[in-house]
Amino acid sequence: MSDTLDSLRRAAASCTNCELYADATRTVFGEGPASAWLMLVGEQPGDREDREGAPFVGPAGRLLDTALERAGIDRDEVYLTNAVKHFRFERDGNRRLHKTPAVGHVRACRPWLDGELAAVAPEVIATLGATAAKALLGSGFRITADRGRPREWEDRQLVPTVHPSAILRTPPERRSEALDALVADLAVVAGLRPARSGRATPPHR
Ligand code: URA
């Protein structure tokens, strides 16, 4: 991790820009190489991420790993982060149930995402789900119409796709088709890998 990312991470650890810090265990900052060509932006940490302090280490993360591998992308070459860096949840007995962050939470967290974007300067960004896409592309963005299509955004390529949690919520009989569609979108992302990364993009399976 670069010095810049390191100091951002330390500053974000005591962020009180919105009220989410009060109930969450910790800030879950992004992870990955500062030289990554690709930044994946999710929504917010889940229960597991909140406990472990790292992005995409729970069930959605495992599914994301499968999809990345099938698309020919190594998780180690990616900088993974979220639009919101504290877990928003509501309690149901002992359980903490995910609650979608509000626009105000995304806005309050934006300086951290902007800091990560400036420090990593990835050639390609892929947004996972509506919250991340709207954070960068505006509230009018609709995933169903535009997923998997690269667009130019602030001098880099951005590819919106669905969130891996959406696949976990898909009825079992349609889950494999939904996963194939995520893999296809990530294969489009893999096709944008710059030559400087030194890796070839294998055809996706
Ligand atoms: N969902 C997200 O959007 N991000 C995580 O880190 C985990 C689950």
Q: Which of 49, 84, 97, 99 gets mutated to test ligand 1 (max ligand atoms within 8 A of its CB)?
A: 49
- Centre of ligand 1 from the C-alpha of residue 171, in Å: 20
What's residue 135's pLDDT? 97
Q: Residue 2 — pLDDT band, cuts 50, 70, 90?
A: confident
The fraction of the chain above a pLDDT of 70, given in percent, is 96
Q: Is the pLDDT of residue 85 over 90?
A: yes
CB 180 within 8 A of CB 170: no
- Domain definitions of the chain by residue range: 2-192
Q: How far apart are CA 51 and CA 116, in angstroms?
A: 22
- Centre of ligand 1 from the C-alpha of residue 27, in Å: 13
Cβ < 6 A, ligand 1 pocket: 42-46, 49, 55-56, 58, 60-61, 82, 165
- Centre of ligand 1 from the C-alpha of residue 41, in Å: 9
pLDDT, averaged across the chain: 95
Residue 57 carries which side chain, given as an amino acid letter? V
Q: Is the pLDDT of residue 187 over 70?
A: yes
What is each CA distance from 58 to 21, 95, 183, 198, in whole angstroms?
20, 15, 19, 30
Q: Residue 197 — pLDDT band, cuts 50, 70, 90?
A: confident
Taking residues 41-70, what's their average pLDDT? 98
Taking residues 159-173, what's their average pLDDT? 98
- Centre of ligand 1 from the C-alpha of residue 204, in Å: 24
Taking residues 130-158, what's their average pLDDT? 96
- Centre of ligand 1 from the C-alpha of residue 80, in Å: 9
**Which tens digits make up the pLDDT trace of 137-149?**
999 999 999 999 9
Q: What residues contact residue 49 under an 8 Å CB cut-off, 6+ apart?
A: 28, 55, 56, 57, 58, 61, 87
Could you tell me which residues are beta bridge partners of residue 41? 81, 127
Q: Identify the CATH homologous superfamily for domain 2-192.
A: Uracil-DNA glycosylase-like domain (3.40.470.10)
Taking residues 109-114, what's their average pLDDT? 98
C-alpha closest to that of 157 among 39, 51, 63: 39
Atom of ligand 1 at shortest distance to CA of 56?
6
What's residue 196's pLDDT? 75
Q: Residue 3 — pLDDT band, cuts 50, 70, 90?
A: confident
Q: Residue 204 — pLDDT band, cuts 50, 70, 90?
A: low
Taking residues 6-11, what's their average pLDDT? 97
